[in-house]
C-alpha cells in the first residue's frame, strides 16, 4: 500500500503541474480589448464597399475566433472575480484600470454585431438575430451603467491628479456610441411604427450621450499632452483610442440614416441622411489628423524602446471604427476617395491585428502577460 501511495505521488505531481492553469490574479478587464479588436476585423471587412475574393470567408473565420475569445475571456474574468475578489475590487478603485470595464460592453456588442453581419452565413439569420439581441441588450445595459459608474468613481474615489488625463478615460463613455452604431442592425427586425422609431431615437440619444461626454474629455487629454509631454512608452498606443468615438460616431450616423426611411417620417429621414454626411466628413477629417499625430507618437515611442503590452490592442478597434465610418461615407456620398480610404484603413487594421495577436499569443505562452504588472516607464525628454 505504501509503495502504491509513493508511486501515485510521483506520477500525479508532474501531471498536476502540467495541467495547472496560469494565475488569473492580474487578468484584468483590458483583455476584452482583444475580443473587440478581433470582432471588428470581421465586421469592418464585411462593411468594405469593394468585393475582394475570399474576404467574406476570411471574415467568417475571424468572427468565429472572436466568439471563442469572448467565451474564453468571460470565463477567465469570472474565475478572476471568484478567486481574486480583492484584486478585482482593487481594479475598480484603480483609475488606470477601472475605465477598461467599458471594454466588456464593447466586446459583447462587437461580437453581436459581427454575428449579424458575418456569422449569419454560418448559423442562419434567426440564430444570428437571437445571439445579437442577447449580446446587444447585455452590452448596451452594461455600457450605460459603466458610462455613469466609472465617472462617478473617478469623482468620489479615484480623484486623479490634475494633468493626468488619459485617452483610457474615453473607454467607459464610448461604449454607448457602439450601441448607437450597431442598433440599426436590429431596427428592421422590430415591428413597424412605434417600435422601430423608438429604437432609432434611442440610438440617437446614445449617440448624443457619448458624443458630448467625449467632447468634454478630449480637451483634457490634449491639454495633458501639451503641458505634461508624451505619455509613458507603454501607454502611447492608447492615443489611438481617441479614434474610437470619432470613427464610431461617423459609423453611427451613417447606419442610422440607412434605416431611418422605414422607421421615421420622410422629412426627418431626409434630414438624417444629410446629417450623416455633414457630420461624418468633418469628423473623419479630424480622425485622420489624430491618426497622423498618434502614428508619429508611436514611431517616437518605438525609437525610445517601447515594447509590446496589451495596450497594443488599441491599434485595432479604433481603426476598425474608422474603416466602417469611411465605408458609410463612401455609401452616402458615392465618392471613390472614401472607398479607397476605407480599404487603406482596413489594411492597417489587419496588419495591427496580426501583430497584436501574435505578440499576445507569445506572451501567453511564456507567461509574461499574466505576470504582475510593472510600473510604466516615463518619458524623461520632450525634445528628442
pLDDT in tens, 188-209: 999 999 999 999 999 999 999 9
Confidence of residue 94 (pLDDT cuts 50, 70, 90): confident
1-5, 305-309, 377-381: which has the minimum mean pLDDT?
1-5
Query: pTM of the entire structure?
Result: 0.89
Contacts of 292 (CB under 8 A, 6+ apart): none
Determine the pLDDT at residue 380: 43
The answer to whether 263 and 234 are in contact (CB under 8 A) is no
pLDDT band at 375 (very low <50, low <70, confident <90, very high): low
- Among 56-70, 160-174, 309-323, which stretch is predicted with the lowest mean pLDDT? 160-174
Q: Is 231 left (phi over 0), alpha (psi -120 to 50) or beta?
A: beta
At 31, which CATH number? 1.50.10.150
pLDDT at 10: 40
Query: Which bin fits 124, alpha (ψ -120 to 50), beta or left (φ > 0)?
Result: left
Return the C-alpha cell found at 49. Answer: 464597399
The answer for residues whose C-beta is within 8 angstroms of residue 301's C-beta and 6 or more apart is 230, 233, 236
Judge whether 269 lies within some domain. yes
Which residues span the domain enclosing 202? 24-358
What does the mean pLDDT of the chain come to?
A: 89
What's the pLDDT tens digit per position in 282-295? 999 999 999 999 99
Q: Does 322 map to a domain?
A: yes
Confirm if 290 and 242 have CB atoms less than 8 A apart.
yes
Task: Please state the separation of Cα 100 from the chain's center in Å.
Answer: 10
Q: What is the pLDDT of residues 302-312, one digit of tens each?
A: 999 999 999 99
Distance CA 349, CA 380 (A): 31
Counting residues of the chain whose pLDDT is more than 70, the rounded percentage is 91
Of 165-174, 299-308, 366-375, the one with minimum mean pLDDT is: 366-375
In a domain, 381, yes or no: no
Longest dimension (CA), the chain: 87
- At residue 368, the pLDDT reads 85
Average pLDDT value for residue range 78-106: 90
What's the CA gap between 224 and 222, in Å, rounded? 5
Please report the pLDDT score of residue 382 as a whole number. 44
**217 domain residue, yes or no:** yes
Rounded to 5 degrees, φ, ψ at 326 are -65, -40
104: left (phi over 0), alpha (psi -120 to 50) or beta: alpha
In a domain, 351, yes or no: yes
* Contacts of residue 128, Cβ cutoff 8 Å, sequence gap at least 6: 115, 116, 119, 120
**Residue 15 is assigned to a structural domain of this protein:** no
Query: What's residue 374's pLDDT?
Result: 66
Q: Are the C-beta atoms of residues 31 and 311 closer than 8 Å to each other? A: no
Domain contains 38: yes
How many independent structural domains does the chain possess? Answer: 1
For the chain, the distance separating the N- and C-terminal CA atoms, rounded to the nearest angstrom, is 72
pLDDT score for 78: 92
What are the start-end ranges of the H helices in the chain?
Answer: 2-19, 32-47, 55-83, 85-92, 102-114, 120-123, 125-153, 170-182, 194-228, 243-259, 266-303, 317-333, 336-366
Q: Which residues of 360-378 are buried (b: 16+ CB within 10 A; e: fewer)?
A: beebeeeeebbeeeeeeee
CA distances from 369 to 82, 207, 240, 308 (A): 20, 35, 21, 10
As a whole number, mean pLDDT of residues 246-259 equals 97
User: Does 274 reside within a domain?
Assistant: yes
Q: What are 49-87's pLDDT values in tens digits?
A: 999 999 999 999 999 999 999 999 999 999 988 888 888
Amino acid at each position: 500500500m505504501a509503495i502504491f501511495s509513493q508511486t501515485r505521488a510521483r506520477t500525479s505531481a508532474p501531471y498536476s503541474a502540467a495541467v495547472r492553469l496560469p494565475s488569473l490574479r492580474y487578468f484584468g478587464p483590458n483583455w476584452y480589448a482583444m475580443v473587440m479588436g478581433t470582432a471588428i476585423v470581421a465586421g469592418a471587412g464585411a462593411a468594405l464597399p469593394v468585393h475582394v475574393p475570399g474576404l467574406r470567408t476570411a471574415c467568417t473565420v475571424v468572427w468565429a475566433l472572436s466568439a471563442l475569445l469572448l467565451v474564453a475571456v468571460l470565463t477567465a474574468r469570472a474565475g478572476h472575480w471568484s478567486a481574486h475578489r480583492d484584486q478585482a475590487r482593487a481594479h475598480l478603485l484603480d483609475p488606470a484600470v477601472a475605465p477598461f470595464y467599458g471594454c466588456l460592453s464593447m466586446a459583447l456588442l462587437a461580437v453581436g454585431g459581427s454575428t449579424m453581419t458575418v456569422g449569419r452565413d454560418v448559423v442562419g439569420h434567426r440564430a444570428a438575430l437571437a445571439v445579437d439581441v442577447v449580446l446587444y441588450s447585455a452590452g448596451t445595459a452594461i455600457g450605460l451603467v459603466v458610462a455613469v459608474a466609472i465617472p462617478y468613481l473617478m469623482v468620489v474615489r479615484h480623484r486623479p491628479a490634475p494633468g493626468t488625463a488619459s485617452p483610457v478615460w474615453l473607454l467607459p463613455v464610448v461604449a454607448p456610441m457602439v450601441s448607437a452604431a450597431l442598433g440599426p442592425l436590429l431596427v428592421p427586425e422590430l415591428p413597424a411604427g412605434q417600435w422601430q422609431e423608438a429604437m432609432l431615437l434611442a440610438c440617437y440619444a446614445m449617440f448624443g450621450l457619448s458624443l458630448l461626454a467625449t467632447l468634454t474629455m478630449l480637451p483634457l487629454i490634449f491639454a495633458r499632452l501639451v503641458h505634461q509631454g508624451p505619455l509613458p512608452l507603454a501607454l502611447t498606443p492608447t492615443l489611438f483610442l481617441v479614434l474610437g468615438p470619432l470613427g464610431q460616431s461617423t459609423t453611427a450616423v451613417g447606419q442610422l440614416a440607412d434605416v431611418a426611411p422605414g422607421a421615421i417620417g420622410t422629412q426627418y429621414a431626409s434630414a438624417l441622411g444629410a446629417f450623416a454626411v455633414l457630420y461624418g466628413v468633418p469628423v473623419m477629417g479630424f480622425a485622420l489628423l489624430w491618426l497622423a499625430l498618434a502614428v508619429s507618437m508611436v514611431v517616437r515611442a518605438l525609437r525610445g524602446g517601447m515594447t509590446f503590452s496589451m495596450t497594443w490592442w488599441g491599434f485595432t478597434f479604433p481603426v476598425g471604427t474608422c474603416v466602417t465610418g469611411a465605408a458609410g461615407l463612401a455609401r452616402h456620398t458615392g465618392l471613390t476617395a472614401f472607398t479607397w480610404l476605407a480599404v487603406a484603413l482596413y489594411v492597417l487594421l489587419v496588419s495591427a491585428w496580426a501583430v497584436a495577436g501574435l505578440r499576445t499569443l507569445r506572451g501567453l505562452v511564456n507567461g509574461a502577460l499574466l505576470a504582475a504588472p510593472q510600473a510604466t516607464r516615463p518619458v524623461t525628454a520632450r525634445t528628442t
